[in-house]
Chain A
Amino acid sequence: QKEVEQNSGPLSVPEGAIASLNCTYSDRVSQSFFWYRQYSGKSPELIMSIYSNGDKEDGRFTAQLNKASQYVSLLIRDSQPSDSATYLCAVNVAGGYQKVTFGTGTKLQVIP
């Protein structure tokens, strides 16, 4: 089982809809979870970090964490064509050192 799993997509949603991106992880003691957005040819850009169970909202973005189910998701409300990118889920691996494992990413396409 991969440490961090994401559906590679592409996930296609119409403009204005809610995009739901999902991520599961295998290490039960993981404490830190991150969502990055990466446009083609560019570097990853932090969207949100989440550390506690529940929801965390920032503008049109909501991250949801469920440690019991080892599941973290990202909801994008009112999706815009500019949201079209690859979204990387990243999980801090336990062990003391700051080592983050990335999922393979989900490609999101927002259709105008």
Chain B
Amino acid sequence: DTEVTQTPKHLVMGMTNKKSLKCEQHMGHRAMYWYKQKAKKPPELMFVYSYEKLSINESVPSRFSPECPNSSLLNLHLHALQPEDSALYLCASSQDSAGGTQYFGPGTRLTVL
């Protein structure tokens, strides 16, 4: 089973709202990732969690706040977003941080009004 799940599938929010994206995997993977993807562009890495600790933050604005409650769950808390933050947000996981294969969830399509 190589399934990564994400909720919600679609999200529309205003610039003053607070919302959260959720990601879950049950493959026993110890590394989890958040990516942002704009139309016709490749996925852009935002955060990496390795063994539930934040290991990479790619200089992401503080209006995006990641959280890893346990080894299976990854959240992305959103606050005071801008319209340019509208994108497909992808979660991925890999077995560990040693160069293994990343498996992607279906993504959350976010629209900021």
A28: interface (CB < 8 Å): no
Residues in B with CB closer than 8 Å to A104 are 41-42
Residues in A with CB closer than 8 Å to B76 are none
Total A residues in contact with B, Cβ cutoff 8 Å: 23
A29-42 to B contact mask, C-beta < 8 Å, 1/0: 00110101000011
Known: A32-B99, A49-B101, A102-B42. A97 touches B48 (CB 8 A): yes
Among candidates A88, A92, A98, residue contacting B42 with C-beta atoms closer than 8 Å: A88
Residues in A with CB closer than 8 Å to B31 are 98
B56 and A99 form a contact (CB under 8 A) = yes
Among candidates A31, A42, A100, A103, residue contacting B102 with C-beta atoms closer than 8 Å: A100
B contact residues, range:
20 to 34
Q: How far is the CA of A45 from the CA of B101 in the complex (A)?
A: 11
Of A41, A100, A102, chain B has the most CB atoms within 10 Å of the CB of A100
B87: interface (CB < 8 Å): no
B56 and A44 form a contact (CB under 8 A) = no
B64: interface (CB < 8 Å): no
Among candidates B45, B103, B109, residue contacting A46 with C-beta atoms closer than 8 Å: B103
A99 and B106 form a contact (CB under 8 A) = no
Known A34-B102, A97-B97, A99-B45; 9 more pairs at CB < 8 Å: A32-B101, A43-B106, A44-B90, A44-B104, A88-B42, A90-B102, A99-B48, A100-B45, A104-B42
